[in-house]
Structure formats: structure tokens, C-alpha cells
Structure 1
Amino acid sequence: MVFALRTLRFPRLPFTIRLFSSRAPWRIPGRTYRVLALVACFFAMTACEGGTLPDLLESPQEETMSSTGKMPLPPRLPEFHTAQDVPLQDEKVFEEVYEENVEEPPPPIPSAARGGTESEPLSPFLEEVHLIPPPGVHDLIRIAILLPLSGPHAALGNAMLHGAEMALFDLAEKNFSLLPLDTTGTPAGARRAAARALSNGAELILGPLYSASVASVASKAREKGVPVVAFSTDRSVAGNGVFLMGFLPRDEIERAVAFARSRGLLRFAALVPDTAYGRRAATALREAVARHGGQVVKVASFRPGSPDVSAVVRHFADYDQRRASLEEQREVLEKRDDEVSRQALKRLEKLDTLGELPFDAVLLPTGGDRLRTIAPLLPFFDIDMPKVRLLGTTQWDNASLGTEPALVGGWFAASPPRARADFSKKFKDIYGRYPPRLATMAYDAAALAAVLARAPGGGDFSHSALTAANGFAGLDGIFRFKSNGVAERGLAVLEMRRNHFRVISPAPEFFE
């Protein structure tokens, strides 16, 4: 039997599925036509993952529109996971962004979709659905996403693309087109990808990932009047049409310091990597502490590539001086032949050093293996925890770090964990592995584009739309862009526990 199915439209999918046969006759007898129509409906419902007819007729996209007339917000995912359910992952830190190591490389993206020429298997989403705009649509909205889909950071780039695809299927309308382009992780590759995006009529560019790549893309995009929503954390590339989705150390440290001051901590110190990121973190600490009425008493730095940082931590802890003070006190007491001195000597036997540290809290803005190496050195050189509270940034956002006893009880600012836990489960169900931390950022960027694309009369990606005062609600919590292109985020304060986090100060749900 030969048959033909006209274009079918399913409310659950943002694009049209087209099934056809070149051998199908132009005319089909009436009864046969009705039978085939029933068969077509059966296959259509099967293709929609077994949904019932009422489900298929109900459009979830309509529920996301704001009834107040304000810019609609991306819906929050169901929050059925607790903080303890955040999946364990391993993490590798980059200077600007960090990623968890992925056990298996993500499915490669077809080179035709990203500007290459090689033949590669399609990603799971692209295998199942042909992203073909419906017939008669002339107001197609084209959005480009620039990621390292090949090269040393391909695993991260492909995982972020999968996150963006998930947002597309959750929120995008039928006239929304996402064009993935490979930057190869280099400024030159990003420049080529941006040129192709602009030549294809992209109205908004998502990405690229690193600040050097963002800088190489910005000038061409400005010439065309196309805004860029990038994933970098380097404030120097923001502004004049460039908006940063990245988590900035200044906001994270501001939130952590404000909470620490509310708990009575006054004197702060920092042990930072000798990198641009580390220097920005140290500056952010000084500014935050000055605003909240504390003191920064010590800042030390270490070389990220150094195999041994024990000398730096030893000096940071004033270990030698405090050890010498202990020995001097022992000598004084040993010369005295009285019961009080003998009791004092017994108490000193349990100590490694003598003398109070000059700080109440230590900022450690690093993560992954580097954090696992440095953290145990602090108690080893007699920095008493939790008497001295450790503070971190979003780079601590990895529950497996709780296996290091020195980090348990530490505080850090990050996005609310529940929605991300649900996303991680969905991602694993689709791709067979947990996503890297930055995948939610790509989801939120694509969701933002999908929401702005719904503006009456076509997509509105203007400066005023991107900087809407009420902001947007994503998987990583609420956020909004300031006029300088930097994202302001509503962050929670989490406490590191063994293998999980505990929210000790919830994130705000709206901007004041």
C-alpha cells in the first residue's frame, strides 16, 4: 500500500513534522482516504510519545504567557528533587568557565548544522524530528548559537547545545529556528561562525563561550545591529550590544559576604588563583566587605599549575610563627615546677600551634581537583574549621566536593538547586549521562530567545526588551540584564554537606 500524509502539526513540538512518499497517488478514493486518515492519526499520536488526544490538543506554550501584559517568563520546571538529590559529578575548572568531566563524549552534532562538511550522526533530538518550518510561514525567526562543537572543549560545547535543544522543544514556537555553529573554541573560529550566522539572517546570537571569542564576534554583530548573549564571565567584553549570561564572581561574593556578615563574621581573608579570575575575585571581596562593614585582613595567591601549593598555604596560615609561639610557651612552662604549669603543659600537648588567626572567614574561589587539593591543607596547617568559615563561589556547585571533610560546612552562593536537579535528570534520561554545570545556562539563554521571539509583530531582541526590569525566571533562578550588559542574578546561599547541599538562605523569587 502506498500512502501520503499531508503536513501534520503537533502542539507539543515547536516545528512541523513532514512525512511523505514520492510514490503516493494524487487522488485517493473517499473510503480509503478516511481509513488512511485514521491510520495517520494513530501514527501521529505514537510519534508524540504516546500522548492522548486531549494532551495533543492542549498547548503548554499558552500557559507561559503573562496575564499582566508584562514580558512572559520561562516556566519553572517541577521541583520534586531535594538538595540532597543533586547528582554527583566530577569537575574540571577553566579560567573563565568550568565544566564537570563527562564520562562519555556527547553525541556529535551534524557538521551541516554547524557549518562543517563532514558526515556525522545526528544528535538524539535531530534524529527524531526534522526541524522544518511549516508551509506558508514567512516570518521565520533565526537565532544562532555559537559553541565549541569540535576541538578540546567539544564535550562541553555539545552538552550545552543539547541543553539549548531542550529549551527549544519546551518553549519555542513553530517559526523559531536555531542555527548551531562551531567556533572550534578559538577566536578565529568564533569570528567565522558569527559571519555565517549574520549572513543567514540571525536576529540574535547566543554564545560564544570565552571572552576572547566574544570580543572577536562583537564588532561584526554591532555593525549589523544584532545583539549577542554570551556565556563568558569577563565583564570587560560586556556592553554595547553584548550581554553576559555567565555567573560573575562579583555577584556571588557579594551574596556570600552579605550572608556571612549577617551571621557575625567580620574579618575576611582570601586564597585566590593567580589568574585574571582570581584577581577579579579578590577585588570583589574587598568591595563587598567594604559595603557591609567588615575587614579584609589578608589576601594570598597561588599558581594554578603548581603541583604543590603547601608552601603558600603554610605561609597564609602563619603556621611557622604560631608553631614557634607554642614551643616558646612550652619552654616557659617546663621551667616552672608547679601544678598549674603542669596542667597547662598537658593542654598544650593537644595543640600544633598557639595564637589566634586574624580572620573569621576565608574565600576560596576555585573548584574541582584544585579545590580538593587546597582545602585539606588548611586544617593540616592548623586553620581551625568550622571556627574559620570557608566561603566559595559557583565553582563549588558540585555535590561530590562534600566528600572532602575540610569543605563540609563551607558556604557559597549559587543558583537554586532544585530546578537544576530536575533538568539533570531529564538530560540523563535523554543522553544517558548527567550534564555539565553550564548546560543550564545554555537552556536559559535559548529559553530567553524563545520568549522574546513571541513579541507581537515578530521577535523583539531590542536593548529595552533584553533589559526588562522584571527580568526572567530560568533554571538558574531569576536574572536580568543591566544596561551595561552584565547579568544580575538572584542567588541562594548553600552550605556544603557530605555529598549534598543545604539551602541556608533561599534565592529571591523576584527583583525589587
Structure 2
Amino acid sequence: MAKRVWAGANALVRPAQVATPAEPGRQTHFRQSRTLALALIAVAAISGCQSKSGASDVLDPAAIAAPASQASGQPAAPAQLTGSSAATAAPKGNLTLGTGATKITMLLPLSASGSAGENGRKMYDAARLAMSDLGDRLVTLTIEDTRGDSSLAKDLAVKAITSGGAKVVIGPAELTAAQHLAKLSGTTRPPVLALADNFAGGPGVYSVRLSEADSAAAGAAAVAGKGARKFVLMVPAGANAGAIEARVANALSIYGAALAVTLPYSASDGARVVSDMGSLVEAPDAVVVASGDGSPVAVLSALKAKGIPGKAVNLIGTNRWLEHPVDALYEGAYVATLDQSETGPIADRFKATYNYQPDVNVAYAYDMVALSAGIASSVGPNGFSKQVLENASGFRGSTGLFRFRADGSSQRSMPFFKVEKGQLKLVEKQTAGF
């Protein structure tokens, strides 16, 4: 029997049929095409919002297909660059974009030092591109600088959700600030689309980024779908361990599979925990290894010594592995993670506009601004309801197909890969369970 296994509330569901959106303004249907990957759309119409044809009737494909400088008639100025590799200068002056009736506040660490500030400035450029593509006449986006200060981010966020002006808040990117917002009560406040990494979410405060729990659960479900039934989960000890365990256990339950044991480990005792595994579970079909902020290499080395992965035992990694250079010990492991090809069309236009290569921070920020513009277009300024944001069919963006849950977490459908010769080789285009 597995230790500390939850089931039920977090169970995944199967993919929904994608509905064909209608072109706004003309109220006619256009065929699904690759163009849709250039913008965020609701996958199915939302019941009760039919006065404007539902939340899937969001985007003008002609504007989406046009370069950013043509879509709004006003080219977005490139950020100041160093070596054309990333946005490095914090924007100054007026940080209000667009003239639409729907007011949106976005909180970014624009002037923070290090990677936090660089990521914030990338997200700022992504927001400008999304506004140029989709939102200039739909929304008014006010961007505020949190400076990477969690206390300031919390204060700005509280002000934004209590002032009565913003219909939705995008950000903050600071984890502590997002966690504080998730603890606040209130049913009439605007929703928050938090950009913080490793944020679990809360009612009305939605986690945008792919979490390690989602990646681990999707990978485990994909292997269980091929017949594996007995799983071991190795997870870093800490606050996120329970969330990862719950999501993996629930994903496995759909296929009649289960966690035989969950083994929390620390950076110093991974090898010992692997050694103990043999006395706790006999002949597992698969081992899932979450890595948290650290590298999985030490644990993988101990597993390799036991012949894992091998013909009898699959090894399943997570998206967090890929934050480190691919090691030879990754060979043969399965990983469910975001589809980089989804970002291709946006990435090409972003590079052409700002002269540096976008990353996942760009994709998340673009998607949230595009989602907000889409809801404003199809449902109106007051359309940011739980019913719309938590619709089971979800949304498609540059980060793929995703949906928000009532508990504030997000679920993503993503490709399933196997590491072969240091590269991710596609096994399945979409993991089951969405």
C-alpha cells in the first residue's frame, strides 16, 4: 500500500473536443489552422455567455497572422540589448498600453537585479507584442514594477485587486507575494493570473506556469497508459512534496495504477534512499524522480547502479530536469514537458521585433495578455468569472493546451519525450489525461 496517497479531487480528465472559433466582427466561422497557434483561444464556448458567441469567439486571424508592427499600426520598439541575447534595460516612462475599456494590471520585476529582472523585462516585451497583436483596442494594460521585492509586489497586488479598477491582475512573479494573495478571502475581487514559479495556486489566484507536479503526473500517466502498474516516486523533501505526490497518485489512478511508495529525499541522502527502495517495494514498473531546484544526477547515478532504467523498470523525469544541462544519466528517461514547437510562430515574430530569442517567460506572459484580450473581446469587461476561467475545455496558447482548476492550479496537455543520445525524442504528441 502506498504511503500518503490522495485521490479524487485532483484527478485529471480526458481531452475535450476542440471547437472551431468564430471571427469577431464578422461573426462567421473560419477553419482551424496553424494560425490559431499564434494566439490564445478558448477551446470551447462558455455556457451562459452566448450574447457574444462565447469565449471561443475571440480572435481576428488576419490580425494574428500579421507581424506585430502591422497589427496595430504602431511598431513595438525593441528593448535595449547586450549582444542581442536578452532584454537588459528596465523600461521607463509611461507603462500603460492600449486604449480598451477593459482595465488590466500586470506586475513585473522590471528593475530587479539578475535573472529575475531579465525575465521581467522579457515578459514586458511579450506583453507589448500581445497587445500589438490582439489587445490595443480591447484592453488598457497598466504594467507596474515590483522591483523583485516580494513585499512591494504583495502591496501592489493587493492595491490592484481592491481598488475596483482592474478586471484581472497578471502577476506577480514573486512566489511569496503570490502565496500571500492565495490566502486572502473575498469573492468579488478580480482574478489573479500569477506568474510565480513553483506556485501551487489558490481560489481565484491561478498558477500559470507548468509545475513539476503536472510534469511528473503527465509522465507517469503516459507510462501507466502503456501498462505499467506499480510506481515509485522519489521527491525532494519539502513544501512541494505533498502536491507532487497527490498529482502523480491521482493521474495513475485513472489507469488502475498506483504509487507503491513515495520516498522523500534530501540532496545529501539520495543514494541512501535509492538503496532503501529495494527493501520497501518489490519489482516496480517505473520510478518517477522529481528534482525540485536541484539536479537529479546524484539520484540517477544511484538508480543506474541498480539497473534503472532498464527493460523491466522505466525511469520518468520532469520538466525541472531540463533546467540543467542534459546529463548522460538522463539517457532512457521519459519526460513530459512543454512543446517548444507551439511557440514557433510567436517566437519568430518576437525575434524579428525585439532582436533576441524568446524563452518560456515570453510565452507565459504573451499567453496571459492574449487570454485577457480574448475574454474581453468575447465576453466583455465583466467576463473574468470563475465559469469562464475554469471552463473544463481550457485554452490553447503558445505554451499549448491548458486549463485552470478551482483550487488555482493549472493542468496542461503536453508532449511525451524520451531522452536518446542527449536529445528529447518525441514519443507521443499529447499526453493522455487532460
Q: TM-score, normalised on structure 1?
A: 0.60
Cα distance in 1 for partners of 2:292, 2:179 equals: 26
Determine helix, strand or coil for the equivalent of 1:226. coil
Which blocks of at least 5 consecutive residues in structure 2 are unaligned?
Answer: 1-37, 46-52, 66-82
1:494 to 1:376, Cα distance in 2 relative to 1, 3 A: same
Conserved? CA contact 2:182–2:205, under 8 Å = yes
Cα distance in 1 for partners of 2:301, 2:285 equals: 18
Query: Which residue number in structure 2 is paired with residue 394 of structure 1?
Result: 319
Determine helix, strand or coil for the equivalent of 1:252. helix
Do residues 228 (structure 1) and 192 (structure 2) align? yes
2:91 to 74, 89, 110: 110
Aligned length: 365
1:180 to 1:357, Cα distance in 2 relative to 1, 3 A: same
2:372 to 433, 437, 449: 449
1:504 to 1:208, Cα distance in 2 relative to 1, 3 A: same
Determine helix, strand or coil for the equivalent of 2:144. strand
1:283 to 1:485, Cα distance in 2 relative to 1, 3 A: closer
1:242 to 1:202, Cα distance in 2 relative to 1, 3 A: same
Determine helix, strand or coil for the equivalent of 1:142. strand
Query: Which residue number in structure 2 is paired with residue 382 of structure 1?
Result: 306
Which blocks of at least 5 consecutive residues in structure 1 are unaligned?
Answer: 1-60, 79-101, 115-129, 134-138, 323-355
Query: Which residue number in structure 1 is paired with residue 74 of structure 2?
Result: none
Cα distance in 2 for partners of 1:223, 1:284 equals: 27
Conserved? CA contact 2:394–2:404, under 8 Å = yes
Query: Which residue number in structure 2 is paired with residue 316 of structure 1?
Result: 274
Determine helix, strand or coil for the equivalent of 1:167. helix
Do residues 255 (structure 1) and 218 (structure 2) align? yes
Conserved? CA contact 2:330–2:422, under 8 Å = no
Cα distance in 2 for partners of 1:369, 1:431 equals: 32
Deviation readout 1:234-263 (Å, 9 max, x if unpaired): 676411x32222324444333222221222
Point out the structure with the larger helix share.
Answer: 1
1:224 to 1:302, Cα distance in 2 relative to 1, 3 A: same
1:147 to 82, 90, 108: 108
Query: Which residue number in structure 2 is paired with residue 344 of structure 1?
Result: none
Do residues 177 (structure 1) and 140 (structure 2) align? yes
Query: Which residue number in structure 2 is paired with residue 94 of structure 1?
Result: none
Do residues 497 (structure 1) and 420 (structure 2) align? yes
1:508 positional shift: 7.3
Letter in 1 for 2:319: T
1:214 to 1:64, Cα distance in 2 relative to 1, 3 A: closer
Q: TM-score, normalised on structure 2?
A: 0.70
Query: Which residue number in structure 2 is paired with residue 8 of structure 1?
Result: none
Determine helix, strand or coil for the equivalent of 1:299. strand
Once superposed, what is the RMSD of the aligned Cα atoms? 4.0
Conserved? CA contact 2:84–2:355, under 8 Å = no
Query: Which residue number in structure 2 is paired with residue 483 of structure 1?
Result: 406
Q: Percent identity?
A: 22
1:453 positional shift: 1.4
| Structure possessing the higher relative contact order (Cα contacts under 8 Å, 6 or more residues apart) | 2
Determine helix, strand or coil for the equivalent of 2:206. strand
Conserved? CA contact 2:231–2:287, under 8 Å = yes
Within 5 Å, give how 1:51-450 maps onto structure 2. Answer: 69-71=53-55, 72=57, 106-113=87-94, 131=97, 133=99, 140-149=101-110, 150-152=112-114, 153-195=116-158, 197=160, 199=163, 201-217=165-181, 222=186, 225-232=189-196, 237-239=201-203, 241-303=204-266, 306=267, 309=268, 311-317=269-275, 358-366=283-291, 370-379=295-304, 381-387=305-311, 388-397=313-322, 401-402=325-326, 404-450=327-373
Cα distance in 2 for partners of 1:486, 1:369 equals: 23
1:274 positional shift: 1.7
Determine helix, strand or coil for the equivalent of 1:370. coil
Conserved? CA contact 1:195–1:220, under 8 Å = no
Letter in 1 for 2:246: T
1:231 positional shift: 2.7
Higher Cα Rg, which structure? 1
Deviation readout 1:247-283 (Å, 9 max, x if unpaired): 2444433322222122232332222212212332233
Cα distance in 2 for partners of 1:265, 1:159 equals: 41
1:253 to 1:63, Cα distance in 2 relative to 1, 3 A: closer
Conserved? CA contact 1:317–1:383, under 8 Å = no
Deviation readout 1:396-441 (Å, 9 max, x if unpaired): 456x744x22212211222333112444444444444433433322
